[in-house]
Chain A
Amino acid sequence: MIKLVKITGQSLYPIYREGDFVVVSKIPFLFGPVRPGDVIVFRHPIYGLMIKKVERCVPQTGDVYVVGMHGHSIDSRRFGAIRRDDIVGKVIWHLKKR
Chain B
Amino acid sequence: MIYELIEKLDRRFPFERAKAHCDIPCGIYDPHHAQLAALTVIRMIDLMNELVKEHGQQDMEFHNSMARYIAVKEQHAELCKHEVRIIWGDYIKPEHVQKYPELHELTNNIMKLGSKCRQTTSRETAVELLQAVNRFAEIFWETKGIATKRAKAPYKPEEEVVYPVLS
Contact = CB atoms under 8 A, between A and B. Distances in A.
B20 A6 contact: no
A6 to B, nearest CB: 5
Interface in B16-66: 16-24, 26
Given A4-B15, A5-B15, A8-B17, A95 B6 contact: yes
Interface stretch (A27-35, A48-56, A57-65): A48-56
Contacts of B15: 4-6, 21
Given A5-B15, A6-B15, A12 B20 contact: yes
A68 B16 contact: no
Interface residues on B, range: 20 to 34
A9 B10 contact: no
Interface in B89-146: 90, 93-94
Given A10-B26, A14-B94, A97-B3, A49 B21 contact: no
Nearest to B27: A10
B2 interface: yes
Nearest to A19: B7
Contacts of B19: 7-9, 47-51
A6 B17 contact: yes
B3 A9 contact: no
A27 B136 CA distance: 48
A37 B65 CA distance: 57
B16 A14 contact: no
A9 B23 contact: no
Contacts of A95: 2-3, 6
A13 B24 CA distance: 14
A25 interface: no
Interface of B: 2-4, 6, 10, 14-24, 26, 90, 93-94
20 contacts: A6-B15, A7-B17, A7-B18, A7-B19, A8-B20, A14-B93, A21-B3, A41-B18, A47-B19, A50-B19, A51-B19, A68-B20, A70-B90, A72-B24, A73-B23, A74-B22, A78-B23, A95-B2, A95-B6, A96-B3
Interface of A: 3-14, 16, 18, 21-22, 24, 41, 47-52, 68, 70, 72-75, 78, 95-98
